[in-house]
Amino acid sequence: MAKSVLQEFTKGLWTEVPPYRLVLGLCPTLAMTKQVDMGFGMGIAVTFVLVCSNVLISLLRKVIPRNVRIACFIVVVATFVIVVELLMQAYTYELFLKMGIFIPLIVVNCIPLGRAEAFCYKNGVLRSFADGMGMGLGYTISLTVLAILREVFGNGTFFNQPISFLGPNFQPYAFMITAPGAFVFLGLMLCIMNMLGKK
């Protein structure tokens, strides 16, 4: 059953959203959602890498020999990751300092490589582009939502700005900022997604 291009796009937003449904790319999902700007920045960086590598790999899928495809995928993904790293250094240096090692680690993040192997090597450019956009946006939204929850309740701030709607008696729930807190919240999100998905 062939899916339409639009379906390839929307599947990344709900039915196959990377961190919750495919359960891929969890390392940055846990580490980069302490603050909203980090989560959002990570999502955008991954989206850029994903879209570029998806398009390029599907364009070159006839040229890449089967035996060395993984090596070629890694070269393509790594190239775009370094491009992102340089651009972030040049334009968003503070965010670059905060995210540190997690930008180069996008190379070994399973999402770009996984999409290349599972999708782009078999599908055309337009579909691969839609797939990359969908997956990237889905990933960005997931990370941003998790980061909003963790930053607002764990730190009492939003985009590093103090917020007041929680009232003056609000005590930051510091557990949410810790790594175990990230696991618990990831689990809760999965739980909610599964409950909604059943209907």
Partner 1 sequence: MREMLRLFVVVTLFGAVSGGLLAGVRAGTQERIEYQQIKFVKGPAILQIMKGCTNDPLTTRFKLKDGKEERSFFVGVFDGKPNIVAFEATGKGYGGNLDIMVAVNVDKDEIVGVGVTTHRETPGQGSRVQSDPKFTSQFKGQSIKEPFKVKTEGGKIDAVSGATVSSRGVTGAVVSSGEIYGRLKSEILEKMKSIKS
For residues 46 to 85, the per-residue mask of contacts with partner 1, x marking binding by CB under 8 A and - elsewhere, is -----------------xxx-xx--xx--xx-xx--xx--
Sequential DSSP letters for 147-189: HHHHHHHHHSEETTEE--TT-TT----GGGGSHHHHHHHHHHH
Q: Count other C-beta atoms under 10 Å from residue 62's C-beta.
A: 6
CB nearer to partner 1: give 88 or 146.
88
Task: Determine the length of the chain.
Answer: 199
Size of the site for partner 1 (CB under 8 A): 21
Out of 91, 164, 167, 199, name the contact with partner 1 by CB under 8 A: 91
How far from each other are the two terminal CA atoms of the chain, in whole angstroms?
23
Closest distance between partner 1 and the C-beta of residue 174, in Å?
Answer: 20
CA distance 91 to 84: 10
Out of 5, 6, 23, 87, name the contact with partner 1 by CB under 8 A: 87
CA distance 107 to 155: 30
Which residue's entry shows tokens 């390392």?
A: 27
CB nearer to partner 1: give 91 or 165.
91
CA distance 197 to 199: 6
Q: Is residue 160 a contact residue for partner 1 (CB under 8 A)?
A: no
CB nearer to partner 1: give 26 or 74.
74
Closest distance between partner 1 and the C-beta of residue 179, in Å?
Answer: 20
CB nearer to partner 1: give 75 or 192.
75
CB nearer to partner 1: give 40 or 96.
96
